[in-house]
């Protein structure tokens, strides 16, 4: 066929099909095989696992690098973007393609992700990110002219939690993928991967420091030190499941309510087992997660940052079908006393729930904050007040239950009176005070006891004289708390009060939507 002959429509269609099929191979079959041999899925395989069958509409499939000579080896420019449905819900999806320039970022890569993010905000769709890669591509970003075109920070920095940003780190991630994760509402990390600003090679060249991937940004670093990751998984299938589970608790955007889910679990179910879970002796430990299981629908909840700041539990659950956020002290760790990590964790969670119209439930059993000279070095006063500021500015419904003790300033941080809660109630086992009697006696009479001939007996007498009534009935009698409830009626009470607090479909004011996603 010469150039002047009219080509048939089938010819053009065949050419289109061939171009698209070639593009779907990314960097080629050899690189796909290498990805599999390394134990990882490709970006397309990850999308197929995440989204509903036949729901993915790809945009930018025929895009490629704008660098001269790179057109034929840069299918999609290292990123796969499009629209899909997850459990029937419309979302936007992007997945890094490690087979194309190791998933690094060029100008077209950025153009595609920018367009996807803009569309998510325009139509109020959650954004799901399946990330890995080596950051900005060299030499694409070298030079003042090229680098100046690649600073697309405003799409992340001005996101302001308008739609949920949900990210999974599924391969070693440096630069761009890390920035996306650090500005996301939920982050999952596959164990065995790394998430950091720059890779070990760059670090060694720049600073001379030699460190392994795991030491730099492996899952244990983020679980124990940074708190930048919400959950960790052993397999990619588990990672995909975590993303879908979190999405299931989220509204599609900040102007909608979280999805309601019908339940056969009686909202007024009596919690007979709960009296055997919580000891009446306030110094005896118990697992608060068992209390949460008793309260929520079908005993199901999703804990976030489970390994970070373990003296505080932050979890998403449902009560009578309605999504709630739970902030609960964990007596199994430091007797429930909060440190700097717990403060950061609470602040982050309050911002999340307030931004997406999720009412907050507080379950108190806290002896105060973990104070020490080391705590002061990590800005403990600031951490405490950040938590308080976030709580004070939040506008979603808040219901507070003092289970066993709420001591000192922590009473306020856990949603006590004057902190804007819709309702504050207590179990009859509750102890509410500025400090515990032992600490009070030690502070006031410590020197006297040091010189006592019978310090044990004198301490006992002073404890008896230290007669400040910490029982909830004193506060209830002056209507400083709303009620003292039977522990077995906790689920019923929460179900009833949530119906009144949220019955008109409360959309919050979102004062915390631009609070930084971090600490």
DSSP-assigned beta bridge partners for residue 14: none
Q: List, for residues 209-255, the tens digit of each pLDDT value.
A: 888 889 899 999 999 999 999 999 999 999 999 999 999 999 999 99
Please name which of 435, 285, 445 lies closest in space to residue 369, comparing C-alpha atoms. 435
Distance CA 126, CA 451 (A): 66
Is 298 a residue whose pLDDT tops 90?
yes
Sorting pLDDT into bands at 50, 70 and 90, what band is 118? Answer: very high
Bigger pLDDT: 29 or 283? Answer: 29
What are the structure tokens assigned to 287, written together?
């697992």
- What are the structural domains of the chain? 11-249 (3.90.226.10), 274-430+471-502 (3.90.226.10), 435-468 (no CATH)
Rounded mean pLDDT, 351-365: 97
Helix (H, G, I), strand (E, B) or coil at 260: coil
What tokens were used for 295?
Answer: 């309260």
d(CA 214, CA 200): 10
Residue 398, H or E segment: strand 398-407
Nearest to 279 by CA among 338, 365, 363, 342: 365
Residues 469-490 pLDDT 10s: 788 999 999 999 999 999 999 9
Q: In degrees rounded to 5, what are phi and psi of residue 322?
A: -95, 135
**CA nearest to 305, candidates 354, 347, 273, 256:** 347
- Measured CA to CA, the distance from residue 166 to residue 195 in angstroms comes to 15
DSSP type of residue 390: H
pTM: 0.92
CA triple 131-133-136, angle to 5 deg = 120
**Phi, psi angles (nearest 5°) of residue 466:** -75, 70
**Torsion angle, CA of 212/214/218/222, rounded to 10 degrees?**
-80
Describe the crossing of helices 437-450 and 455-465 by its angle, rounded to 10 degrees.
140
Q: Is the predicted pLDDT of residue 499 greater than 60, yes or no? A: yes
Could you tell me the two tokens for 300? 């199901």
What pLDDT score does 21 carry? Answer: 95
* Per-residue pLDDT band at 519 (split at 50, 70, 90): low
- Is the separation of the CB atoms in 176 and 105 below 8 Å? yes
Q: What distance in Å separates the CA atoms of residue 436 and residue 438, rounded to the nearest whole number?
A: 6
How many percent of the chain have pLDDT more than 70? 92
Q: Phi first, then psi: what are they for 316, rounded to 5°? A: -100, 140
Question: Measured between alpha carbons, how far is 253 from 250 in angstroms, rounded to an integer?
Answer: 8
| Mean pLDDT (whole number) for 443-470 | 71
367 alpha carbon, distance to own chain's centre = 26
The kind and range of the H/E element at 85 are strand 79-86
Q: What is the largest CA-CA distance in the chain?
A: 114
Which residues lie across from 233 on neighbouring strands?
190
Nearest in space to 470 (alpha carbons), one of 402, 405, 400, 416: 405
pLDDT of 165 above 80? yes
- Sort 117 into a burial class: Cβ within 10 Å, 0-12 / 13-18 / 19+: buried
């Amino acid at each position: 066929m010469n150039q002047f002959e009219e080509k048939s429509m089938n010819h053009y269609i065949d050419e289109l099909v061939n171009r698209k099929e070639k593009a779907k191979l990314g960097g080629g079959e050899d690189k796909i095989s290498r990805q599999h041999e390394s134990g990882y899925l490709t970006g397309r395989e990850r999308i197929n696992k995440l989204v509903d069958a036949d729901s993915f509409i790809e945009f930018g499939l025929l895009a490629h690098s704008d660098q001269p000579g790179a057109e034929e080896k840069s299918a999609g420019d290292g990123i796969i973007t499009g629209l899909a449905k997850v459990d029937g819900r419309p979302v936007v999806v992007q997945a890094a393609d490690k087979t194309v320039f190791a998933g690094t970022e060029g100008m077209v890569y950025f153009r595609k992700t920018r367009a996807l993010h803009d569309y998510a905000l325009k139509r109020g769709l959650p954004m799901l990110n399946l990330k890995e890669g080596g950051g900005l591509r060299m030499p694409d970003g070298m030079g003042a002219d090229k680098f100046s075109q690649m600073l697309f920070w405003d799409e992340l920095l001005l996101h302001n939690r308008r739609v949920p940003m949900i990210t999974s780190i599924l391969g070693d991630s440096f630069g761009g993928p890390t920035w996306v994760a650090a500005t996301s509402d939920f982050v999952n990390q596959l164990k065995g991967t790394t998430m950091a600003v720059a890779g070990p090679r760059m670090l060694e060249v720049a600073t001379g420091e030699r460190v392994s991937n795991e030491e730099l940004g492996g899952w244990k670093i983020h679980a124990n030190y940074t708190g930048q990751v919400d959950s960790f998984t052993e397999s990619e299938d588990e990672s995909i499941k975590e993303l879908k589970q979190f999405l299931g608790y989220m509204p599609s955007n900040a102007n909608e309510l979280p999805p309601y889910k019908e339940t056969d679990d009686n909202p007024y179910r009596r919690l007979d087992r709960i009296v055997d879970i919580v000891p009446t002796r306030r110094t005896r430990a118990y697992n608060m997660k068992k209390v949460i299981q008793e309260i929520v629908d079908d005993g199901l909840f999703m804990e976030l940052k489970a390994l970070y700041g373990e003296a505080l539990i932050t979890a998403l659950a449902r009560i009578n079908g309605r999504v709630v956020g739970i902030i609960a002290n964990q007596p199994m760790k430091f007797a429930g006393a909060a440190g700097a990590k717990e403060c950061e964790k609470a602040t982050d969670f309050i911002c999340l729930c307030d931004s997406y119209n999720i009412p907050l439930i507080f379950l108190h059993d806290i002896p105060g904050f973990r104070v020490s000279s080391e705590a002061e070095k990590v800005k403990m006063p600031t951490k405490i007040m950040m938590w308080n500021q976030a709580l004070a500015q939040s506008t979603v419904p808040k219901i507070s239950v003092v289970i066993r003790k709420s001591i000192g300033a922590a009473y306020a941080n856990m949603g006590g009176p004057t902190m804007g809660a819709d309702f504050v109630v207590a179990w009859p086992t509750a102890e509410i005070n500025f400090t515990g009697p032992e600490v009070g006696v030690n502070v006031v009479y410590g020197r006297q006891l040091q010189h006592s001939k019978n310090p044990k007996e004198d301490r006992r007498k002073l404890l008896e004289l230290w007669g400040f009534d910490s029982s909830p009935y004193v506060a209830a009698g002056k209507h400083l708390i709303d009620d003292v409830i039977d522990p077995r009626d906790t689920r019923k009470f929460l179900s009833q009060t949530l119906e009144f607090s949220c019955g008109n479909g409360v959309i919050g004011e979102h004062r915390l939507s631009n609070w930084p996603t971090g600490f």
